[in-house]
Structure 1
Amino acid sequence: MKIHLLLASLAMLCSLTSQATEQNLPKHWFGDDPKSKIVIDYADWDFVLRSSVMLSGPVNREKAKAEVPHTGTRLTNKYKTRTLLAGNKFHYEQFRKLPELNDNVSAIRQSLQQLPSEVALNTLTATEQLAYWLNLYNLVVIDEINKIYPKKYLEEFVTAEGGLLQRKLLKIEGVELSLNDIQHKVLKVKFDHDPLVLYGLYQGYIGSPSIRKFAYTGENVMRALQANAFDFINSNRGTYPAGDNFLVSSFYQRNADYFPNFQQDLRAHLNHYLKPAEKDALQDADTMYALIDDWIVTDIYGTRQEFGGGSSVNISNINGDPYLSRFPPELLKYLVKLQQRNDEALGTVTVKDLEAQQSEN
């Protein structure tokens, strides 16, 4: 499968320089050196991700089972069973328990903010720059969610005026930036509105693209974005057929400027990544509606409140792990399911598999 990131021509770079000036951003943020040998080391961020991210497993459209009230209560957690299992999870619970983990993330964030002052961005390749901005974006998201966790529903926190995406949370080479600035004033301009970049923008809730279990690098970023796009589009949090129509994530509507002719352009984009069995459903759909959303934080279990106390069972011998006996039955089922999907993911899905599958169509 061909990587379709659109890199700027020399003429486009001149245009971008003009745009950058108008936006009061440094001109050199929009240049690059295709022959550069400079590589940014993300070993510290990579370690955090590898130890804190639980993979969702091979992409599928499996729904979670609805929770049933326990004896002595009518209350259950309110979750969207269609999307609950979708997307990778981040272990925010541990960061809440161990403040020193938060300190480490904040320190990495500060270090990355300083990097452009030490190495001019235009001395890097375009993909090395893309990896830098995506890692910084995702670091800020996780660092800021750590401050408000265990807040469960993130819609207001993320999208409100003055919320996570709009606040000036970064200062790079003296320029104050918001996450929206990174997306719209840097990445969208430099990479010519390529929607593939969207799949690197983790925003902390299930309905956003997944956090990866490793840091982006100049070498892996394009393969990782392709995999993220495939995962998002073929899971219920991204799309699903609905009779004569086709439902898509509200994430696409919020980023409609990447799809000027929304219906036509988004259809073409989705068709590039959809599994063959579902392409006909998209083609036959009368209309696409951006009605899918899930604003629940992508934690592992911390915000799943347990109601009632009359239903405890002895589960100490499940998988031979007495640790599991700490959890109530409904939560245990969820954790076991996540772990099963995580185990299935290890070594079973590769970008080569995706490329081979799509090259056949």
Structure 2
Amino acid sequence: MPRIQFLISATLGAASALALGAAPALAQDNSAESQFATFAPTNNPNNDGIDYSIWDEAMKNLVVSMGPSLRETAGRPDPSFGTRRQYGHVSRYRLEGTRLMFSFLDSDVIASFTEYRQDLERTADIVDIQALSRNEQLAYWINLHNVALIEQIANAWPVRQPREIMVGGVPLDDARFITVEGIALSPRDIREKIVFAHWNDPKVIYGFWRGEIGGPSIQREAFNADNVARLLDRGARDFVNSLRGTQKNGDTLEVSELFAEAAPYFFGNFDADLRAHLAQYADEDTAALLSATTDIRASVNEHDIADLAGGVREPTYQNIQNADGNQQSFRIPQSMAALLAQREQKFQRIIREGRTGTVTFSNIRLPGDLDETEVE
């Protein structure tokens, strides 16, 4: 299988992202609907696997974690120095989740995303995807979905909200620019017609990155058969226990609109089924919200892009300094510097107040060990 070498810059240069032409979307042909049944997992999986080490390296270089939610609204930041215009992120959720560094990507890196997405598509011509283990298949579909989203957002950047992006005249989420086994797929098709349709556990929701602050975090490692259950559990805990996942408004539990989107597949009795799901991952504070509310409403959203720059190129920059005060050889936008400073203050507070999170150790596979729990 071909390998794509990602050209990740070693320094946070302030180079602009050079957008490539977006891949044309194939016609939204309803006759393709019946073809999705071909992606149903087989009952007799083989032992084949796919290596995502290159994507794993990319994620470690491109993803910045904002840390666990403190369930506190981030106040509106001050305007950039010397201007009344507000650049960067103003979202009340801007200190939650993870961010991608789109503003630092050059044309070579952006092109490599397209190459890697096409590489994953071609993998299905070499490997029988449906005959892989369920965890192996799930990792494939999540990685392909997320690679495709990152590719198209990188092509369109700067953009304030991914939902504004059109691919061949079709909104990004519904554009069928992905082709697997000759079948044109959109990101929504992968989520709903393949994964949601064939996996019973609602935690699969948290593997799919939507490019928005209001959605699940993208992980700093690629999914694979060995880690998919662990990463989905991590994503579920992060999202369920965040403001963008659950909030209290009087007697009403306000939840993300993404839960309503997934309801036809996982939450038939929306109130009871969703509460049971949330309770699986709720920490003490979130469990108190569940106990203190009687109604539930899917009304929480944040469509702003989950990047560091707020989807804009800011004209004002500042130099970054070492702890000893020496200036570095690169600059970043003032609003980004302010966001990273707020992030650092949040981390220091977490340490001071003893709110440090769980440390997860990678499993060391020994002869005779059982495989990681399969996601059904």
Range into which the TM-score falls when normalised by the shorter chain = 0.7 to 0.9
1:243-301 Cα deviation digits (max 9, x unpaired): 32221111222222131121221111111111123313212213222221111111112
Aligned length: 323
User: Percent identity between the aligned chains?
Assistant: 30
Name which of 121, 126, 147 aligns with 1:139.
147
**2:204 aligned with 1:204:** no
Seen in structure 2, the aligned counterparts of structure 1 residues 277 and 324 have a Cα distance that, compared at 3 Å, is farther
After the TM superposition, which residues 16-27 of structure 1 pair with which residues of structure 2 at under 5 Å, given as runs? 23-25=34-36, 27=38
Deviation at 1:22, TM superposition (A): 7.5
Tell me the C-alpha RMSD between the 2 structures. 3.1
Partner Cα distance (1:42, 1:72) in 2 = 45
C-alpha distance in 1, partners of 2:221/2:267?
A: 29
Q: Does 1:255 align with 2:262?
A: yes
* Residues 314 and 325, structure 1, Cα contact 8 Å, conserved in 2: yes
SS at match of 1:146: helix
Aligned-pair distance for 1:220? 0.2
Q: List alignment gaps of at least 5 residues for structure 1.
A: 1-20, 353-361
Tell me the amino acid that sits aligned with residue 24 of structure 1.
Q
Q: Aligned equivalents of 2:121 and 2:100: distance in 1?
A: 23
Q: CA–CA distance in 2 between the matches of 1:335 and 1:175?
A: 42
1:203 Cα shift? 1.0
| 3-state SS of 1:246 partner | strand
Quick one: which amino acid aligns to residue 263 of structure 1?
Answer: D
CA distances 1:160-216 after superposition (whole Å, capped 9, x unpaired):
x93112111111111111112211221122213x31111111010101111111100
Q: 1:165 to 1:320 in 2, by over 3 A?
A: same
How many Å apart are 1:157 and its aligned residue? Answer: 3.4
Residue type of the alignment partner of 1:195: P
Distance 1:91 1:330, change over 3 A: closer
- Please point out which of 323, 327, 337 is paired with 1:332: 337
* Mapped pair 1:151 → 2:156: no
Aligned to 1:357: none
Deviations 1:34-91 (A, max 9, x none): 5x33221001111111110111223432433322346765432485543111111111
- Quote the residue 1:172 is aligned against: 180
Cα distance in structure 1, aligned partners of 2:123 and 2:222: 16
CA 1:256–1:348 in 2, change beyond 3 Å: closer, same or farther? closer
CA distance in structure 2 between the aligned counterparts of 1:324 and 1:63, rounded to whole angstroms? 34
| 1:272 paired to 2:283 | no
Structure 2 match to 1:242: 249
Cα pair 2:139 2:223 within 8 Å, conserved: yes
Distance 1:281 1:158 in 2: 38
Q: Do the aligned residues in 2 keep the contact of 1:84 with 1:206 (CA within 8 Å)? A: yes
- For residues 279 and 141 of structure 1, the distance between their equivalents in structure 2, rounded to whole angstroms, comes to 33
Contact 1:324 / 1:332 at 8 angstroms: preserved in 2?
Answer: no
Partner of 2:112: 104
What letter matches 1:93 in structure 2? Answer: S
Query: What is the distance in 1 between the residues matched to 2:333 and 2:183?
Result: 49
The one-letter code sitting in structure 1 at the alignment partner of 2:202 is: P
- Cα deviation for residue 349 of structure 1 reads 2.7
Measured against aligned partners, the alpha-carbon deviations of 1:329-357 in whole angstroms (never above 9, x if no partner) come to: 55422112335667989x953358xxxxx
Partner SS state of residue 109, structure 1: helix
User: Partner letter of residue 30 of structure 1?
Assistant: P
**How many Å apart are 1:117 and its aligned residue?**
1.1
Q: Deviations over 1:137-172 (max 9, x none)?
A: 00000001011111012334389x931121111111
Is this contact kept in 1: 2:174–2:187, CA < 8 A? Answer: yes
Q: 1:320 aligns with which of 304, 322, 325?
A: 325
Q: Using a 3 Å threshold, how does the CA distance of structure 1 residues 321 and 81 change in structure 2: closer, same or farther? A: farther
Q: Which moved more, 1:257-266 or 1:122-131?
A: 257-266
Give the counterpart letter for 2:85 in structure 1.
L
Q: Does 1:90 pair with 2:100?
A: yes
Change (3 A) 1:223 1:182: same
Determine which structure has the larger helix proportion and give its number: 1
Letter in 2 for 1:350: V
Distance (whole Å) between structure 2 residues aligned to residue 153 and residue 74 of structure 1: 22
2:51 to 41, 47, 50: 41
